[in-house]
Amino acid sequence: MITQSLSNGQPLPLIDQPSSRWQEEMRTVIRQPAELLQLLQLDPGLLPAAEQAARLFPLRVPRPYLQRMQPGNPQDPLLLQVLPLGLELQSVPGFASDPLEEANSNPLPGLIHKYASRVLLIANGACAINCRYCFRRHFPYEDNNPSRAEWQPILDYIQAHPEVNEVILSGGDPLANSDSRLAALITALEALPQLSRLRIHSRLPVVIPSRVTPELVQILGQSRLKVVLVSHINHPQEIDAEVCTQLSKLRQAGVHLLNQAVLLKGINDQLSTQVALAEALFAADILPYYLFVLDNVAGAAHFAISDSQAEQLHLQLQQKLPGFLVAKLAREVPGRPHKTLLPSSPWLSP
């Protein structure tokens, strides 16, 4: 039996036997800050704070993702997304454990219903990687991790809401499920005639590209539902040749590839980085979809940039790129039944 832990560190029993390469890579993620620092030849002085912060939100770094980091560089943009810092321990006014107030839209364990035509299903509480800015870093996965037996009430709920035509598989990471469990879930959803789309939000094909197994390609490619995979890529350095190769298999199978990113201070808040990200995404057949300002989750305040900086950056992006490569700049406002777009800064003639 392979065991994983939930994104918040709680153990979760999984999955199929025998394990495939991606499952082995899930099992052997780096969990100890000391190992991370040693592998990247970084200052051991970072260790005490990293260990302290990792006790609040565990460290998880897949080895294929680590290989894209630059050894000896404490400012590496991929490292900064995963390295626990003492700054996370600071309590900052306005930053909360449930910044999107998802507890108010959680009618059943594992089901979040905020938008009229879509519901979100927490299909797995585990993640391959723990992103320090994650808005669900305090999420109660232990109460929202439905077993197969608990899928039926969710299916009944969807049937009772005929206006719902799209299910979003989220997590954690929905692709942390075995292919057989994922296939069973998708088959159950396909049996609901009201559904026309299936959306999957996942970091796994990027951080562990071997997750794109032939079985996964077949499951998604053969679904009667239109399948959209939303990758969560924040920096062009996350996209290497293997990521492109693996994602192209999904694209060729008919899966629509979109990307959403989070604007993160010191990581991707420069124009050149955002331009490079858009170009790298398109080269990998992925369309930029959303660029989110940070959700105000406790422990992540050091990643925030101001709205005016974000709006200025977005205006500059529009001046640099064709419109189809400019992601919509948005935030999620608790209680609103839609994303909220931020305006671009007014154009000022030089």
Sites for ligand SF4 among residues 60-79 (CB under 6 A): none
> Binding to ligand SF4 by residue 136, rule CB under 6 A?
yes
> Binding to ligand SF4 by residue 138, rule CB under 6 A?
no
Q: State which H helix or E strand residue 288 sits in.
A: strand 287-292
Q: Which of 99, 171, 288, 299 binds ligand SF4 (CB under 6 A)?
A: 171
> Binding to ligand SF4 by residue 237, rule CB under 6 A?
no
> Binding to ligand SF4 by residue 131, rule CB under 6 A?
yes
Q: How many helices (H) and strands (E) does the chain have?
A: 12, 11
The residue among 172 and 288 lying less far from ligand SF4, judged by its C-beta, is 172
CB of 189 to ligand SF4, least distance (A): 21
Alpha helices in 31-173 (DSSP H): 33-39, 47-56, 63-66, 79-82, 151-159
SS3 label, residue 271? helix
| Contact stretch for ligand SF4 (CB under 6 A) within 64-72, 123-131, 154-162, 295-303 | 123-131
> Binding to ligand SF4 by residue 134, rule CB under 6 A?
yes
Listing from the earlier edge strand, what are the strands of the sheet with 197-202?
A: 111-115, 118-124, 166-171, 197-202, 226-231, 256-262, 287-292, 328-331, 340-341
Instruction: Determine the Cα–Cα distance for residues 172 and 158; give it in Å rounded to an integer.
Output: 21
User: What is the Cα 139 distance to its own chain's centre?
Assistant: 14
- Are 29 and 3 in contact, with CB atoms under 8 Å apart? no
CB of 296 to ligand SF4, least distance (A): 15
Assigned token pair, 17: 């036997």
SS3 label, residue 203? coil
The residue among 100 and 131 lying less far from ligand SF4, judged by its C-beta, is 131
SS3 label, residue 277? helix
> Binding to ligand SF4 by residue 25, rule CB under 6 A?
no
> Binding to ligand SF4 by residue 127, rule CB under 6 A?
yes
- Are 324 and 318 in contact, with CB atoms under 8 Å apart? no
Build a one-symbol-per-residue string for 179-218: x at contacts with ligand SF4 by CB under 6 A, - elsewhere. ------------------------x---------------
Amino acid sitting at position 93: P
CB of 232 to ligand SF4, least distance (A): 6
CB of 127 to ligand SF4, least distance (A): 3
User: Does the N-terminal peptide bond of residue 343 adopt cis geometry, omega within 30 degrees of 0?
Assistant: no
| Contact stretch for ligand SF4 (CB under 6 A) within 83-91, 165-173, 216-224, 340-348 | 165-173
> Binding to ligand SF4 by residue 264, rule CB under 6 A?
no
Q: Which of 173, 179, 238, 295 binds ligand SF4 (CB under 6 A)?
A: 173
> Binding to ligand SF4 by residue 235, rule CB under 6 A?
no
Interface residues with ligand SF4 (CB under 6 A)?
7, 127, 129-131, 134, 136, 171-173, 203, 232
